[in-house]
Amino acid sequence: MKARVFITLKNGVLDPQGKAIHHALEGLGFSSVNDVRAGKMIELDLADGTPDSDIEDMCRKLLANTVIENFRIERLANA
């Protein structure tokens, strides 16, 4: 089974990379963009039956830095 972990900066944490992407989009003429926040996605290939609590543990202990980042876990059906 597979799961995806989405890691995003917490609200209020300055995101210089998102800002730079925003400026670049504006430079390309995309004037409709109000804001950009950059994050990352990590795909995990897991043993069948791995409980959610284990994935959450992985996020807290390594995948996300909870001082500045939030995480969201998405299990992939039939993957």
Partner 1 sequence: MNSAVIVFPGSNCDRDLAVALEQVTGRKPAMVWHKEAELPEGVDFIGVPGGFSYGDYLRSGAMAARSPVMRAVVDAAGRGVPVIGICNGFQVLTEAGLLPGALMRNARLSFVCRNVRLRVENSQSLFTAQYDAGEEIVFPVAHHDGNYQADEATLDRLEGDGRVAFRYLDEVNGSGRRIAGILNDAGNVLGLMPHPERVIEPAHGGTDGRRLFEGLLETVAA
Output 16 or 49, the one with its CB closest to partner 1: 16
Other CB atoms within 10 Å distance of the CB of residue 73: 15
Closest CA to 44 of 52, 35, 36, 32: 52
Output 49 or 54, the one with its CB closest to partner 1: 54
Torsion sign over Cα 20, 33, 37, 12: positive
Structure tokens at 56: 């959450």
Work out how close the CB of 5 gets to partner 1 at its nearest, in angstroms, rounded to a whole number.
11
Output 44 or 68, the one with its CB closest to partner 1: 68
**Residue ranges binding partner 1 (CB under 8 A):** 13-14, 16-17, 20, 61-63, 65, 67-68
Work out how close the CB of 16 gets to partner 1 at its nearest, in angstroms, rounded to a whole number.
5
**Most distant pair of Cα atoms in the chain: their distance:** 47
Work out how close the CB of 13 gets to partner 1 at its nearest, in angstroms, rounded to a whole number.
7
